[in-house]
Amino acid sequence: MIFEEDDDDTKEVAQIERINADDQEGETLAGMEHLSKRQYRKRLRYLRITETRRLHRKEKKKEAQQRKKERTKLESEAKELQGEAEDRTANQPQECAALPASTAGNKEGHTHVSKLERQKRIWRKLEKAKEKGLQVVLDLGFGEKMTQKEASRLAGQVGRVHGANKLSDRPFHVHLTSLAPDNMLYRECVRRNDGFQHFIGVEQTSKHFLEVFDREDVVYLSPDSSNDLLELDNKKVYVIGGLVDETVQKNVTITQAREKSLQTAKLPIDLFMKREPGSKGNKILTVNQVFEILLKFYVTRDWRVALPVGLPERKSFVLKPDDTLPPDVLKQQGVFPPGYDKNSNWREDTSDDSKEYTRRDTAKHSPDISERLNSISISTTKNNDDIAS
């Protein structure tokens, strides 16, 4: 054992001598002469560990420098490819020009688009929506009816509206009206949403929406309206009431719309969906849920696809079977019930089955259902958790 310990000590001493040889100041072993054999051994181990860690950090630093050089080289190559791609597509008129891409680091070989290029695509899409897109207004003039907590919730919903609009294939031209910089809602919007003042594709104004748009073009979306929204008209301006009300005040938006003699409408939830038996779900939706339903319908033109997007499963709403919908609604959705010839007049009976279908439909729906369905064009907004009335 003594010989083994001496051998170990000899190795440690040799190693320390090498460490000392590399030490610039020559002070590695200074002051160790007075140490005991045990203390001396501990000191040697400490110096060995310290030197190992130093060499490890040095190696890591070299690797980081090498990676940085490689990354810089790839970025320069990507910029060259970007310049070449822009030169090739400069004179090609197309809605979305081909964007340069880099496949560096992509093992599957799929095209990788940088964050900057994705932002450019979104910017071009939203700028086009400002020129040709459907105009949707968030009426934010209900600040005096909300507490600070409710205003904070509405500010969060405004941020989600902007996020959904950016991701949509056919974004809307969004307006935020009655939003003065000195009111509580504006301050909450700035606090809850980074870069709120510079949202792309969103126009903000302190004016009332009737100061910006003609009264005849405005359709106010209210859950208390008697009209179902079946179609979106690009010539119309659709207004969503920006109100979060935990106490669920009724007829707030419809009262304002009637006082100003505006057209009103609601989402056709009752027409296309039904509540599951025994459920306690309600039809109260947040501002962003109504907005997302409108976005989905604007793309698909099918309420049976759009409505489930904004109605969470917890509300326990399911789509009605097609054979329970009025014929005019089915035709508007591109669905033809049994017995109808889609090439003939929609009202023309082509079989005994169609006559029976008409009798069942008349019994289920009010006599003036066709007239009512043909006279509408709007949507609804009201919330419970975050209530948009």
Does 275 share its domain with 148?
A: yes
Average the pLDDT over 202-231 and give the result: 91
How crowded is the C-beta side of 334, counted as CA atoms within 13 Å?
Answer: 7
Does 45 share its domain with 157?
A: no
**What's the pLDDT at 12?**
55
- Report the CATH number at residue 190: 3.40.1280.30
Mean pLDDT comparison of 119-123, 204-208, 323-327, highest-scoring range: 204-208
Would the pLDDT of 207 be above 80? yes
**Residue 218 has which token pair?**
């405005």
Burial of 38 (0-12, 13-18, 19+ CB in 10 A): exposed
Average the pLDDT over 300-314 and give the result: 87
Q: At what angle do helices 2-22 and 37-89 cross, to 10 degrees?
A: 50
**What's the pLDDT at 357?**
40
Query: Which of 81, 98, 113 is the C-terminal boundary of a domain?
Result: 81
In a domain, 220, yes or no: yes
Does 143 share its domain with 71?
A: no
Report angle CA 149, 221, 129 to the nearest 5 degrees.
90
How far is the C-alpha of 13 from the C-alpha of 181, rounded, in Å?
75
- pLDDT tens digits, residue range 52-109? 999 999 999 998 888 888 888 877 777 777 766 666 655 554 444 444 444 444 444 4
- Amino acid identity, position 141: G
In a domain, 108, yes or no: no
Does 278 share its domain with 178?
A: yes
Does 327 share its domain with 241?
A: yes
Q: Which of 186, 152, 167, 157 has its CA nearest to residue 287?
A: 157
In a domain, 340, yes or no: no
Q: Which of 12-26, 35-49, 181-195, 294-308 has the lowest mean pLDDT?
A: 12-26
**Residue 215 has which token pair?**
């009264």
| DSSP code for 112 | B
Other C-beta atoms closer than 10 Å to the C-beta of 66 total: 10
Query: Which of 319, 335, 351 is the C-terminal boundary of a domain?
Result: 335
Cross-strand partners of 238 = 136, 219
Q: Which of 119-123, 278-282, 303-307 has the lowest mean pLDDT?
A: 278-282
Would the pLDDT of 6 be above 60? no
Does 57 share its domain with 187?
A: no
Q: Which residues contact 326 (CB under 8 A, 6 or more apart)?
A: 271, 361, 365, 369, 370, 373
Average the pLDDT over 141-160 and give the result: 89
Does 65 share its domain with 149?
A: no
Does 189 share its domain with 301?
A: yes
Parent domain of 49: 2-21+37-81
In a domain, 145, yes or no: yes
**What's the pLDDT at 111?**
64
In a domain, 61, yes or no: yes
Does 151 share its domain with 65?
A: no
Would the pLDDT of 287 be above 80? yes
Does 44 share its domain with 166?
A: no
Burial of 322 (0-12, 13-18, 19+ CB in 10 A): middle
Total length of the chain: 389
Does 165 share its domain with 301?
A: yes
Q: Which of 120, 126, 132 has its CA nearest to residue 169?
A: 126
Does this model's pTM top 0.75? no
In a domain, 305, yes or no: yes
Q: How far is CA 248 from the centre of its chain?
A: 26
Per-residue pLDDT band at 30 (split at 50, 70, 90): low
In a domain, 183, yes or no: yes
Burial of 370 (0-12, 13-18, 19+ CB in 10 A): middle
**What's the pLDDT at 110?**
53
Looking at the structure of the chain, the number of domains it has is 2
49 vs 104, higher pLDDT: 49
Burial of 175 (0-12, 13-18, 19+ CB in 10 A): buried
In a domain, 107, yes or no: no
172 close to 134: Cβ distance less than 8 angstroms: yes
Q: Which of 27-36, 160-169, 219-228 has the lowest mean pLDDT?
A: 27-36
Does 147 share its domain with 16?
A: no
